[in-house]
A and B are shown apart, each in its own frame.
Chain A
């Protein structure tokens, strides 16, 4: 029976195209891995509640410096500090943490934007509750157990049968990807194979396919793993070289983004990629322009910049979001760190973002404007930002399915 899907697949087959990168064979049967309809979404989750105020620094606020005598990031024009320790001016009021210098060009090209005082309604200041609710895209524990990205994938048919439609770098698939569409977790493409000599491995895979074929509980995961094995075996992935001049840092994040870049360029049908970055729970010795958090930011900045430069040619079809479960206390604590807060900041990177701007409503840091008088308030719900990206950049109109019981209001963060 000819369905629309099979018709499209056979039509696309005729379109398999042009230049083949030398290092890997273009997959002849493109229908299996058709291109996604919209942007590819890469979601970086900073686990542990990253301190928004030291990332996008409100250097125009006197209160910021009053509350953080030790760990504030210096003003761009503060001569007492070395320039490498001062915030880089963004728009005359906000500055960027110096460790994120590699991302400044993207800001200047209007492809990097921030949404400040952004976050979720959850008030518990608990990592675990906040992450759970945020990843599920709900306000109450009683909502659906699946993740917002899982529901996005389920509600959008991009006619993409690739096993790598959704990917998580690491050993586990984050909650936001949980749902009916199985997602793959992998740490390294080069390691993603069953060791052993070729024929025996293929026999083993066939046998595993039979074992998992009827299994109700693990069948989908088994099949996806096997499909991914087959897919990756076709790529000559060990020899991936980034674009000339691009140097990924040798960190977990750097290597992870490199895997994503490799898969993007191999056009395997990747639509969603998730990466976790840990270590942001800086209760103690957070540091300002330099220190523990600065080092984390340095890694993120260098890795993201390398990734963005590497996939530059496709940046028009790429949406990168960096988020965290909540922000941190305005006032520094006794350990020269910060305790849990509320409002956070989202970073948006991509050709489709309305960059060069700090979006969101800023009410200042006076106690009257703060949440419970101590934390940055949330003036933009994170679902408005994500919803707009899903709608306008990824082409998913079903936002009620993705964020149940919530009316997404677009804030104009995308073009």
Chain B
């Protein structure tokens, strides 16, 4: 007897029924026992392998024997069937937890309450995983991998992330790749837009987000203003060879590179540091801002001696223009005492190297770096215990920046940290990034950043742009102006892709657009009473103004100013 049309129909109907029943069953559990499903979801998220083995044991150890064992009718049979059902019920609750987790991952945000829609989506994804094994496994595995620790590890290995999109945007910026002597021939108008533009483009488009953030941190730590004399032409080399090269490397290498950086020596006047008349600027900021901190216990005498040791560390002005050179004629060859270490006379270039070693050996170094890092990434007033632990990691790994970052991001204090106020670049680049905007990071963007108080690479003093909330929160108007300009596509060279955003709105009303954008950009909806009042106010808004107005309001909202 062949396979008739009835059989095929039956098969399809069965499959469809199963396809509907499975999500339906899981949904029922969510509606009946939401708290249990949530707990199951948490367990699955935190300890997936444990859950897997538990399920395997339950299935093999209990489920199969129970099902296969054939008992006679009667109480034993009744108990057997009841146990099977109870087991099925428990396992399907677990499956509901898995589906909930998948639903949340697919939705892409960490909201705590699972919605029915998300659960159904997750259940369907699970079904595909079961019915189409290999494809399904890739879906499941991929989604599961996007947990935070995996993300962190991926970000800490930026070379594994293919950044072709970002690179293609910065590839045309020749001055970024130039050596000093070539760069010194380029006009101001050729260099500044590329230096500032590349920073914004990388912040917006790079997949290596953590790397770019840490580059920004070190740029502020070893801050150089491009407004001072030749620094504009030399900063590109510094950015490439000092900051970007060592941002994820070792602090010792980074400091060494910075001490040899023509841009830095020029910025802090070390080329005018002579034996017969020392200039203390670089020496002072090296100790105070770059390594030890003002209360590390060093004295004015240490500053003077460090300045003497660093005489001769200068920038070539001749045929190797713009490169580091040691000028023995400028050097103070006398004996010195650096931070307690005695240096014999005639040390030459090695005097400066001794400064380097003395700094690395100084006990204040790890804590100073740790405090700066935690202040930038965790909280304005970093918890002392965290600073200690991070400092210890710094000491134990001898300045391994990745290890220090890991120690910081793995910490509970980081997980529970209150939000930090967005600096202008965070605000602008974050908005462009979240909206998938197309930008050339040109003059309008740079003007906006300047008006907000962060003209890139132009902070006048060597301490870099400030980290704390109080330094930034008093200047809201430029952010509002930017929000409006961006939402109405008035920024030349920058465009929000409206065609991709139309679906973000929950529905065609103003409040639908508002909450849609809020969810997309903030991860949560605005409070209902606020949304309702705004809806009442904007009831008669033109339809084509709904999306831009909603977007502008979310970008300008107080909630969006924090990260």
Whether B549 and A171, one on each chain, are in contact in the complex, defined by CB atoms closer than 8 angstroms, is no
In the complex, B279 has a CB within 8 A of chain A: yes
Whether A172 and B472, one on each chain, are in contact in the complex, defined by CB atoms closer than 8 angstroms, is yes
Whether B452 and A171, one on each chain, are in contact in the complex, defined by CB atoms closer than 8 angstroms, is yes
**B-side contacts of A127, CB under 8 Å:** 461, 463
B530 in complex: contacting residue of A195, A210, A283, A334, CB < 8 Å? A210
Whether B272 and A283, one on each chain, are in contact in the complex, defined by CB atoms closer than 8 angstroms, is yes
Q: Mark B468-493, 1 if CB is under 8 A from A, else 0.
A: 00111111111011001100101000
A128, chain B: closest CB distance, angstroms: 5
Residue picked from A195, A222, A335, most chain B C-beta under 10 Å:
A335
Whether B553 and A333, one on each chain, are in contact in the complex, defined by CB atoms closer than 8 angstroms, is no
Report the tally of A-B residue pairs with Cβ distances under 8 A.
143
In the complex, B88 has a CB within 8 A of chain A: no
Chain B residue with the shortest CB-CB distance to A141: B295
**B-side contacts of A124, CB under 8 Å:** 294
B481 in complex: contacting residue of A194, A218, A221, A281, CB < 8 Å? A194
8 Å CB contacts to B: which residues of A162-209? Answer: 168, 171-173, 175, 178, 182-187, 192, 194-196, 200, 203-204, 206-208
Chain B residue with the shortest CB-CB distance to A145: B470
Whether B300 and A333, one on each chain, are in contact in the complex, defined by CB atoms closer than 8 angstroms, is no
Q: A337 vs B295: C-alpha distance in the bound complex, in angstroms?
A: 26
In the complex, A214 has a CB within 8 A of chain B: yes
With contact pairs A204-B484, A208-B480, A278-B460 given, residues A185 and B553 touching in the complex (Cβ less than 8 Å):
no
Whether A125 and B284, one on each chain, are in contact in the complex, defined by CB atoms closer than 8 angstroms, is yes
Residue picked from B451, B485, B526, B556, most chain A C-beta under 10 Å:
B556
**A-side contacts of B281, CB under 8 Å:** 281, 283, 339
B558 in complex: contacting residue of A175, A184, A203, A215, CB < 8 Å? A215
Chain B residue with the shortest CB-CB distance to A329: B280
Whether A195 and B481, one on each chain, are in contact in the complex, defined by CB atoms closer than 8 angstroms, is yes
Residue picked from A47, A145, A283, most chain B C-beta under 10 Å:
A283
Whether A196 and B484, one on each chain, are in contact in the complex, defined by CB atoms closer than 8 angstroms, is yes
**A-side contacts of B475, CB under 8 Å:** 171-173, 185
Q: Mark A246-288, 1 if CB is under 8 A from B, else 0.
A: 0000000000000000000000000000000011010110000
In the complex, B276 has a CB within 8 A of chain A: yes
With contact pairs A182-B474, A194-B480 given, residues A284 and B284 touching in the complex (Cβ less than 8 Å):
no
Chain B residue with the shortest CB-CB distance to A186: B477
In the complex, B453 has a CB within 8 A of chain A: yes
Which listed segment binds A: B57-65, B148-156, B316-324, B532-540? B532-540
Chain B residue with the shortest CB-CB distance to A372: B300
Whether A218 and B484, one on each chain, are in contact in the complex, defined by CB atoms closer than 8 angstroms, is no
Whether A334 and B274, one on each chain, are in contact in the complex, defined by CB atoms closer than 8 angstroms, is yes
Q: A15 vs B559: C-alpha distance in the bound complex, in angstroms?
A: 43
In the complex, B288 has a CB within 8 A of chain A: yes
In the complex, B269 has a CB within 8 A of chain A: yes
Chain B residue with the shortest CB-CB distance to A334: B277
Q: A85 vs B545: C-alpha distance in the bound complex, in angstroms?
A: 62
With contact pairs A124-B294, A283-B269, A284-B269 given, residues A211 and B284 touching in the complex (Cβ less than 8 Å):
no
Q: A334 vs B283: C-alpha distance in the bound complex, in angstroms?
A: 14
Whether B284 and A337, one on each chain, are in contact in the complex, defined by CB atoms closer than 8 angstroms, is no
**A-side contacts of B471, CB under 8 Å:** 172
In the complex, A219 has a CB within 8 A of chain B: yes
Q: Mark A216-235, 1 if CB is under 8 A from B, else 0.
A: 01110110010001000000
In the complex, A126 has a CB within 8 A of chain B: yes
**B-side contacts of A278, CB under 8 Å:** 460
Residue picked from B269, B471, B484, B552, most chain A C-beta under 10 Å:
B269
With contact pairs A204-B484, A222-B558 given, residues A334 and B476 touching in the complex (Cβ less than 8 Å):
no
With contact pairs A194-B484, A283-B279 given, residues A207 and B553 touching in the complex (Cβ less than 8 Å):
yes
Whether A334 and B273, one on each chain, are in contact in the complex, defined by CB atoms closer than 8 angstroms, is yes
Could you list 9 A-B pairs, sorted by A, with CB under 8 Å? A125-B284, A125-B303, A171-B475, A184-B474, A186-B477, A187-B451, A203-B537, A217-B558, A334-B272
Besides A211-B553, A221-B474, A279-B460, 12 more A-B contacts (Cβ < 8 Å) are A125-B284, A126-B284, A171-B452, A178-B470, A182-B474, A195-B484, A204-B552, A210-B533, A218-B561, A225-B480, A334-B277, A335-B273
